[in-house]
Protein backbone atom coordinates (compact mmCIF):
# COMPACT_ATOMS: atom_id res chain seq x y z
CA UNK A 1 0.00 0.00 0.00
CA UNK A 2 1.30 3.43 -0.85
CA UNK A 3 0.68 6.34 1.44
CA UNK A 4 -0.53 9.61 0.04
CA UNK A 5 0.97 12.67 1.73
CA UNK A 6 -1.53 14.79 3.66
CA UNK A 7 -2.32 18.12 1.99
CA UNK A 8 -0.25 20.97 3.35
CA UNK A 9 -2.05 24.04 4.67
CA UNK A 10 -2.25 26.24 1.58
CA UNK A 11 0.70 28.46 1.11
CA UNK A 12 -0.42 29.74 -2.28
CA UNK A 13 -1.56 33.34 -2.11
CA UNK A 14 -4.35 34.16 -4.52
CA UNK A 15 -4.17 37.70 -5.92
CA UNK A 16 -7.31 39.77 -5.66
CA UNK A 17 -7.93 39.77 -9.42
CA UNK A 18 -8.33 35.99 -9.41
CA UNK A 19 -11.09 35.94 -6.82
CA UNK A 20 -14.46 35.66 -8.55
CA UNK A 21 -17.42 37.42 -6.92
CA UNK A 22 -20.84 36.06 -7.84
CA UNK A 23 -24.07 38.03 -7.71
CA UNK A 24 -26.24 37.06 -4.78
CA UNK A 25 -29.93 37.25 -3.97
CA UNK A 26 -30.75 38.15 -0.38
CA UNK A 27 -33.87 38.45 1.72
CA UNK A 28 -33.78 40.96 4.58
CA UNK A 29 -36.21 42.34 7.16
CA UNK A 30 -35.99 45.97 8.37
CA UNK A 31 -35.43 46.25 12.14
CA UNK A 32 -38.45 48.54 12.57
CA UNK A 33 -39.51 46.78 15.78
CA UNK A 34 -36.03 45.74 16.89
CA UNK A 35 -35.54 45.60 20.67
CA UNK A 36 -33.95 43.40 23.30
CA UNK A 37 -36.99 42.46 25.38
CA UNK A 38 -35.96 38.95 26.42
CA UNK A 39 -32.70 37.06 26.71
CA UNK A 40 -32.16 33.86 24.75
CA UNK A 41 -28.39 34.15 24.29
CA UNK A 42 -25.58 35.67 26.43
CA UNK A 43 -25.38 38.84 24.30
CA UNK A 44 -28.94 39.90 25.17
CA UNK A 45 -29.41 42.07 28.24
CA UNK A 46 -32.93 43.54 28.37
CA UNK A 47 -31.73 46.16 30.89
CA UNK A 48 -29.26 47.64 28.42
CA UNK A 49 -30.82 50.35 26.24
CA UNK A 50 -31.16 49.75 22.51
CA UNK A 51 -31.37 52.57 19.97
CA UNK A 52 -33.82 51.24 17.37
CA UNK A 53 -33.28 54.21 15.03
CA UNK A 54 -29.55 53.58 15.06
CA UNK A 55 -30.23 49.90 14.35
CA UNK A 56 -32.33 50.93 11.34
CA UNK A 57 -29.55 53.20 10.05
CA UNK A 58 -26.91 50.48 10.47
CA UNK A 59 -29.14 47.88 8.83
CA UNK A 60 -29.90 50.27 5.94
CA UNK A 61 -26.18 50.80 5.40
CA UNK A 62 -25.74 47.01 5.30
CA UNK A 63 -28.52 46.65 2.72
CA UNK A 64 -27.06 49.47 0.60
CA UNK A 65 -23.63 47.84 0.81
CA UNK A 66 -25.05 44.68 -0.76
CA UNK A 67 -26.78 46.71 -3.48
CA UNK A 68 -23.60 48.66 -4.21
CA UNK A 69 -21.78 45.33 -4.62
CA UNK A 70 -24.35 44.35 -7.26
CA UNK A 71 -26.48 41.98 -5.20
CA UNK A 72 -30.27 41.84 -5.22
CA UNK A 73 -32.01 42.52 -1.91
CA UNK A 74 -35.64 41.68 -1.33
CA UNK A 75 -37.54 42.68 1.78
CA UNK A 76 -40.08 41.03 4.05
CA UNK A 77 -42.40 43.23 6.09
CA UNK A 78 -41.41 43.40 9.78
CA UNK A 79 -44.07 42.58 12.37
CA UNK A 80 -44.67 44.29 15.70
CA UNK A 81 -44.02 42.02 18.68
CA UNK A 82 -41.23 40.14 16.84
CA UNK A 83 -38.11 42.14 17.77
CA UNK A 84 -35.73 39.48 16.39
CA UNK A 85 -37.39 39.23 12.97
CA UNK A 86 -34.55 41.36 11.56
CA UNK A 87 -32.42 38.21 11.78
CA UNK A 88 -33.81 36.79 8.55
CA UNK A 89 -31.07 34.17 8.21
CA UNK A 90 -32.77 32.14 10.93
CA UNK A 91 -35.94 31.65 8.91
CA UNK A 92 -35.00 29.69 5.82
CA UNK A 93 -32.40 27.66 3.97
CA UNK A 94 -32.78 27.86 0.20
CA UNK A 95 -30.81 25.64 -2.18
CA UNK A 96 -31.70 25.25 -5.87
CA UNK A 97 -34.95 27.09 -5.20
CA UNK A 98 -36.06 24.57 -2.60
CA UNK A 99 -36.94 26.17 0.72
CA UNK A 100 -36.54 24.53 4.10
CA UNK A 101 -38.23 26.81 6.62
CA UNK A 102 -37.54 27.23 10.31
CA UNK A 103 -38.75 26.00 13.67
CA UNK A 104 -37.42 28.13 16.50
CA UNK A 105 -36.28 26.91 19.88
CA UNK A 106 -37.48 30.02 21.76
CA UNK A 107 -41.25 30.56 21.90
CA UNK A 108 -40.59 34.32 21.63
CA UNK A 109 -39.42 33.80 18.04
CA UNK A 110 -41.66 30.96 16.91
CA UNK A 111 -44.16 33.15 15.00
CA UNK A 112 -41.46 34.46 12.65
CA UNK A 113 -41.28 31.16 10.77
CA UNK A 114 -44.82 31.39 9.37
CA UNK A 115 -44.32 34.93 8.00
CA UNK A 116 -41.29 33.76 6.07
CA UNK A 117 -43.12 30.65 4.83
CA UNK A 118 -45.86 32.91 3.46
CA UNK A 119 -43.29 35.23 1.88
CA UNK A 120 -41.75 32.36 -0.07
CA UNK A 121 -45.14 31.07 -1.21
CA UNK A 122 -46.22 34.58 -2.26
CA UNK A 123 -43.01 34.96 -4.27
CA UNK A 124 -43.49 31.86 -6.36
CA UNK A 125 -41.50 29.27 -4.43
CA UNK A 126 -43.37 25.99 -4.76
CA UNK A 127 -41.17 23.70 -2.70
CA UNK A 128 -41.51 25.15 0.79
CA UNK A 129 -41.12 22.55 3.49
CA UNK A 130 -41.38 23.29 7.20
CA UNK A 131 -39.08 21.28 9.48
CA UNK A 132 -40.43 19.02 12.19
CA UNK A 133 -37.33 19.41 14.39
CA UNK A 134 -35.89 22.63 15.84
CA UNK A 135 -34.11 24.21 12.89
CA UNK A 136 -32.85 27.81 12.94
CA UNK A 137 -31.95 27.70 9.26
CA UNK A 138 -28.90 29.62 8.10
CA UNK A 139 -28.14 30.51 11.69
CA UNK A 140 -26.91 26.92 11.94
CA UNK A 141 -26.62 25.80 8.30
CA UNK A 142 -23.82 27.06 6.05
CA UNK A 143 -23.71 26.08 2.36
CA UNK A 144 -20.21 25.37 1.03
CA UNK A 145 -21.28 24.84 -2.58
CA UNK A 146 -21.34 21.07 -2.19
CA UNK A 147 -22.48 20.38 1.38
CA UNK A 148 -24.20 22.00 4.33
CA UNK A 149 -22.14 22.52 7.46
CA UNK A 150 -24.62 22.20 10.29
CA UNK A 151 -24.26 23.44 13.86
CA UNK A 152 -25.91 21.98 16.92
CA UNK A 153 -25.50 22.29 20.67
CA UNK A 154 -27.62 25.35 21.47
CA UNK A 155 -30.40 25.80 18.91
CA UNK A 156 -30.83 23.47 15.95
CA UNK A 157 -31.47 19.81 16.90
CA UNK A 158 -29.12 17.20 15.46
CA UNK A 159 -32.19 15.42 14.07
CA UNK A 160 -32.88 18.55 11.99
CA UNK A 161 -29.57 18.00 10.24
CA UNK A 162 -30.74 14.64 8.93
CA UNK A 163 -34.05 16.22 7.97
CA UNK A 164 -32.24 18.99 6.06
CA UNK A 165 -30.22 16.40 4.17
CA UNK A 166 -33.37 14.52 3.21
CA UNK A 167 -35.42 17.59 2.24
CA UNK A 168 -32.71 19.53 0.42
CA UNK A 169 -30.95 16.48 -1.03
CA UNK A 170 -27.47 17.68 -0.09
CA UNK A 171 -24.87 16.13 2.21
CA UNK A 172 -24.94 17.53 5.74
CA UNK A 173 -21.93 17.59 8.06
CA UNK A 174 -22.81 18.01 11.74
CA UNK A 175 -20.63 20.20 13.94
CA UNK A 176 -20.88 20.56 17.71
CA UNK A 177 -20.88 24.10 19.17
CA UNK A 178 -19.64 24.37 22.76
CA UNK A 179 -19.45 28.08 23.71
CA UNK A 180 -22.80 29.74 24.56
CA UNK A 181 -21.60 33.06 23.12
CA UNK A 182 -21.35 31.27 19.77
CA UNK A 183 -24.77 29.67 19.96
CA UNK A 184 -25.36 29.61 16.20
CA UNK A 185 -22.92 28.21 13.65
CA UNK A 186 -22.93 31.56 11.82
CA UNK A 187 -21.39 33.28 14.86
CA UNK A 188 -18.33 31.01 14.60
CA UNK A 189 -17.88 30.10 10.93
CA UNK A 190 -18.66 31.38 7.46
CA UNK A 191 -17.96 30.41 3.88
CA UNK A 192 -15.60 32.69 1.96
CA UNK A 193 -15.59 30.85 -1.37
CA UNK A 194 -18.01 28.16 -2.41
CA UNK A 195 -16.62 25.04 -4.02
CA UNK A 196 -16.88 24.76 -7.79
CA UNK A 197 -15.74 22.41 -10.55
CA UNK A 198 -12.14 23.57 -10.25
CA UNK A 199 -11.80 24.71 -6.65
CA UNK A 200 -12.60 23.59 -3.14
CA UNK A 201 -14.53 25.72 -0.68
CA UNK A 202 -12.75 28.07 1.68
CA UNK A 203 -14.09 29.01 5.10
CA UNK A 204 -13.14 31.13 8.11
CA UNK A 205 -13.86 29.91 11.64
CA UNK A 206 -13.04 30.24 15.31
CA UNK A 207 -11.86 26.81 16.54
CA UNK A 208 -12.62 27.38 20.24
CA UNK A 209 -16.34 27.55 19.46
CA UNK A 210 -16.29 23.86 18.45
CA UNK A 211 -15.84 20.53 20.24
CA UNK A 212 -12.52 18.71 19.78
CA UNK A 213 -14.04 16.24 17.32
CA UNK A 214 -15.64 18.98 15.24
CA UNK A 215 -12.34 20.90 15.15
CA UNK A 216 -10.72 17.80 13.71
CA UNK A 217 -13.47 17.51 11.10
CA UNK A 218 -12.97 21.14 10.10
CA UNK A 219 -9.20 20.75 9.89
CA UNK A 220 -9.62 17.67 7.75
CA UNK A 221 -12.12 19.22 5.37
CA UNK A 222 -10.64 22.73 5.21
CA UNK A 223 -6.88 22.56 5.71
CA UNK A 224 -6.45 26.08 4.29
CA UNK A 225 -9.21 27.74 6.32
CA UNK A 226 -8.76 31.21 7.76
CA UNK A 227 -8.46 30.75 11.53
CA UNK A 228 -10.04 33.66 13.38
CA UNK A 229 -8.80 34.87 16.75
CA UNK A 230 -10.84 35.18 19.95
CA UNK A 231 -10.92 38.96 19.38
CA UNK A 232 -12.36 38.53 15.88
CA UNK A 233 -15.01 36.18 17.25
CA UNK A 234 -15.91 38.43 20.19
CA UNK A 235 -17.15 41.23 17.89
CA UNK A 236 -19.09 38.64 15.84
CA UNK A 237 -16.50 38.97 13.09
CA UNK A 238 -17.33 35.45 11.91
CA UNK A 239 -20.85 36.59 11.12
CA UNK A 240 -19.60 37.72 7.73
CA UNK A 241 -21.09 37.57 4.25
CA UNK A 242 -18.82 36.80 1.30
CA UNK A 243 -19.60 36.88 -2.41
CA UNK A 244 -16.32 35.15 -3.22
CA UNK A 245 -14.37 38.42 -3.31
CA UNK A 246 -16.01 41.06 -1.14
CA UNK A 247 -16.41 40.09 2.50
CA UNK A 248 -18.87 42.16 4.51
CA UNK A 249 -17.96 42.03 8.19
CA UNK A 250 -18.05 44.12 11.38
CA UNK A 251 -15.37 46.82 11.30
CA UNK A 252 -13.97 45.67 14.66
CA UNK A 253 -12.76 42.37 13.16
CA UNK A 254 -9.39 43.85 12.20
CA UNK A 255 -7.21 40.72 12.50
CA UNK A 256 -9.64 38.82 10.33
CA UNK A 257 -9.67 41.64 7.76
CA UNK A 258 -5.87 41.51 7.58
CA UNK A 259 -5.90 37.75 7.01
CA UNK A 260 -8.59 38.09 4.36
CA UNK A 261 -6.57 40.71 2.47
CA UNK A 262 -3.58 38.40 2.53
CA UNK A 263 -5.74 35.74 0.88
CA UNK A 264 -6.93 38.06 -1.88
CA UNK A 265 -10.33 39.05 -0.44
CA UNK A 266 -11.64 42.59 -0.08
CA UNK A 267 -13.00 43.28 3.42
CA UNK A 268 -16.02 45.61 3.42
CA UNK A 269 -16.63 47.03 6.87
CA UNK A 270 -20.01 47.71 8.41
CA UNK A 271 -21.04 48.97 11.84
CA UNK A 272 -23.57 46.64 13.42
CA UNK A 273 -23.17 47.60 17.08
CA UNK A 274 -26.90 47.87 17.90
CA UNK A 275 -27.84 44.49 16.43
CA UNK A 276 -24.90 42.91 18.24
CA UNK A 277 -26.73 43.70 21.50
CA UNK A 278 -29.08 40.92 20.42
CA UNK A 279 -26.26 38.61 19.38
CA UNK A 280 -26.53 39.38 15.67
CA UNK A 281 -24.29 40.64 12.90
CA UNK A 282 -24.36 41.09 9.11
CA UNK A 283 -24.99 37.43 8.26
CA UNK A 284 -27.83 37.07 10.77
CA UNK A 285 -29.66 39.84 8.88
CA UNK A 286 -29.17 38.14 5.52
CA UNK A 287 -31.01 35.08 4.21
CA UNK A 288 -29.46 33.94 0.94
CA UNK A 289 -31.80 32.72 -1.79
CA UNK A 290 -30.01 30.24 -4.05
CA UNK A 291 -31.66 29.36 -7.33
* Sheet with 128-129: strands ordered across: 93-95, 98-100, 128-129
> How far is residue 271's CA from residue 36's CA, in Å, rounded to a whole number?
18
| 179 close to 193: Cβ distance less than 8 angstroms | no
Report the helix count and the strand count for the chain, using DSSP H and E: 7, 15
Of the two residues 153 and 263, which places its CB atom closer to ligand ARG in the complex? 153
Q: Pick between residue 19 and residue 277 the one whose CB is nearest to ligand ARG.
A: 277
What's the distance, CA 17 to chain centroid? 25
Minimum Å distance from CB 168 to ligand ARG? 18
**Can you give the binding site for ligand ARG, defined by CB under 6 A?**
40-41, 44, 84, 87, 89-90, 109, 139, 184, 186-187, 278-280, 284
Among 29, 71, 161, 184, the active-site one is: 184
Which residue, 187 or 259, has its beta carbon nearer to ligand ARG? Answer: 187
Catalytic residue among 29, 161, 235, 284: 284
Query: Least Å distance between CB 161 and ligand ARG?
Result: 16
Q: Examine the residue annotation and report whether 284 is marked as an active-site residue of this protein.
A: yes
- Taking the complex as a whole, the smallest distance from the CB of residue 36 to ligand ARG amounts, in Å, to 8
Complex with ligand ARG: residue 27 or 40, whichever CB lies closer = 40
In this structure, are residues 3 and 50 in contact, taking their beta carbons and an 8 Å threshold? no
Instruction: Tell me whether residue 123 is one of the annotated catalytic residues.
Output: no
Q: Given the complex with ligand ARG, which of 236 and 263 has the nearer CB atom? A: 236
208 CA to centre of own chain: 18
Query: What Rg value do the Cα atoms of the chain yield, rounded?
Result: 18
Residue ranges of E strands in the chain: 25-28, 72-75, 93-95, 98-100, 128-129, 141-143, 148-152, 172-176, 189-193, 202-205, 226-227, 241-242, 246-250, 266-270, 287-288
| Beta bridge partner(s), residue 290 | none
Cβ at position 11, least distance to ligand ARG in Å: 33
How far, in Å, are 45, 59, 189, 271, 279 from residue 41 at the CA level? Answer: 9, 21, 17, 21, 7
Residue among 25 and 224 whose Cβ is closer to ligand ARG: 25
**Could you tell me whether strands 266-270 and 246-250 are parallel, antiparallel, or unpaired per DSSP bridges?**
parallel
Q: How far is the CB of 233 from ligand ARG (least distance, A)?
A: 13
CA contacts within 13 A on the Cβ side of 269? 12
Closest-by-Cβ residue to ligand ARG is 284
**In whole angstroms, how close is the CB of 51 to ligand ARG at the nearest point?**
16
Annotated catalytic residues are: 184, 284
Amino acid sequence: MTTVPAPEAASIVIPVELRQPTRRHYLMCPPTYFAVEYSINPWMDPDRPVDTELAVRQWTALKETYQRLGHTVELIEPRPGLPDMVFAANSGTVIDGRVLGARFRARQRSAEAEFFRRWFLAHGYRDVIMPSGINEAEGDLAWTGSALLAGTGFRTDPGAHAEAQEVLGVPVISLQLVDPRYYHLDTALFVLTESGPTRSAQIAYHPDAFSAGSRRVLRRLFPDAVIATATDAACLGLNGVSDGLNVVLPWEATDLATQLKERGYLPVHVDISELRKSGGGPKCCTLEIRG
